[in-house]
C-alpha cells in the first residue's frame, strides 16, 4: 500500500478510497472532425464500484496535490505520461472530510494507452457520444454534468 491508501468516511456517510482524498484525470481529445474523446478506465468487477467505467486516478498521497496524483496514477495505471500538458481546469466534489478532484487535461491526439494495473480490465478512449451507453462509476456520473460544463 502507498501512503494515503485506505478507506475514509465522509460527512455524507459514504465510504471512499483515499485517506487524503482522491483525484482523477479527465484526459480529453478534441478531434479535427469535431468529435470529443475521453480516456476512461473499466474497473475490475471485484473493486469498489467494480464493473463500472470511470476516470484513471486514485488516492492522494500525504501533501500530494490533486494534479500530481492524477498524473501519477495515469502513468502508473495506463502508461500515459501527461506531464507536458497543462491543466485546463479542476473540479472538486467535496463531501466534507473527503473530496474527489477531477483534473482536466487536453491531449493533442489519442495517445496510446495500456492496461498496467490489475484494477482495470480495460483502458480506452471513449467517444463522448458513447458515454450514455456505459455503466458509469457513480462518483463520475455525479460529477460529470459540472465537469462537462468546464470542457466548454
Which residues are near Zn ion by CB under 5 A? 10, 12, 14, 95
Q: Report helix, strand or coil for 77.
A: helix
**Bridge partner list, 79:** none
Q: Please report how close the Cβ of residue 57 comes to Zn ion at its closest, in angstroms.
A: 16
56-59 and 22-30 beta bridge pairing: antiparallel
The CB density around residue 137, as the number of other CB atoms within 10 Å, is 24
Q: What is the 3-state secondary structure (H, E, C) of 22-66?
A: EEEEEEEEECCCCCEEEEEEEECCCCCCCCCEECEEEECCCCCCH
Evaluate whether 26 touches 54 at the Cβ level (below 8 Å).
no
Q: Which is nearer to Zn ion, 58 or 82 (CB)?
A: 58
Q: Which is nearer to Zn ion, 10 or 141 (CB)?
A: 10
Q: Please report how close the Cβ of residue 43 comes to Zn ion at its closest, in angstroms.
A: 18
Q: Please report how close the Cβ of residue 136 comes to Zn ion at its closest, in angstroms.
A: 17
Please give the DSSP secondary-structure letter assigned to residue 136. Answer: B
Q: Please report how close the Cβ of residue 38 comes to Zn ion at its closest, in angstroms.
A: 23
Q: Which is nearer to Zn ion, 10 or 44 (CB)?
A: 10
Q: Which is nearer to Zn ion, 128 or 136 (CB)?
A: 136
Amino acid at each position: 500500500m502507498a501512503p494515503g491508501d485506505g478507506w475514509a468516511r465522509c460527512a455524507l456517510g459514504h465510504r471512499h478510497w483515499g485517506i487524503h482524498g482522491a483525484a482523477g484525470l479527465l484526459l480529453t481529445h478534441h478531434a479535427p472532425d469535431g468529435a470529443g474523446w475521453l480516456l476512461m478506465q473499466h474497473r475490475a468487477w471485484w473493486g469498489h464500484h467494480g464493473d463500472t467505467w470511470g476516470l484513471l486516478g486514485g488516492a492522494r498521497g500525504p501533501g500530494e496535490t490533486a494534479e500530481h496524483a492524477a498524473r501519477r496514477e495515469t502513468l502508473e495505471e495506463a502508461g500515459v505520461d501527461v506531464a507536458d500538458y497543462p491543466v485546463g481546469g479542476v473540479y472538486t466534489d467535496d463531501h466534507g472530510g473527503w473530496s474527489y478532484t477531477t483534473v482536466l487535461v487536453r491531449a493533442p491526439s489519442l495517445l496510446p494507452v495500456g492496461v498496467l494495473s490489475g484494477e482495470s480490465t480495460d483502458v480506452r478512449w471513449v467517444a463522448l457520444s458513447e458515454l450514455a451507453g456505459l455503466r458509469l462509476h457513480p462518483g463520475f456520473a455525479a460529477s460529470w454534468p459540472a465537469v462537462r460544463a468546464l470542457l466548454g
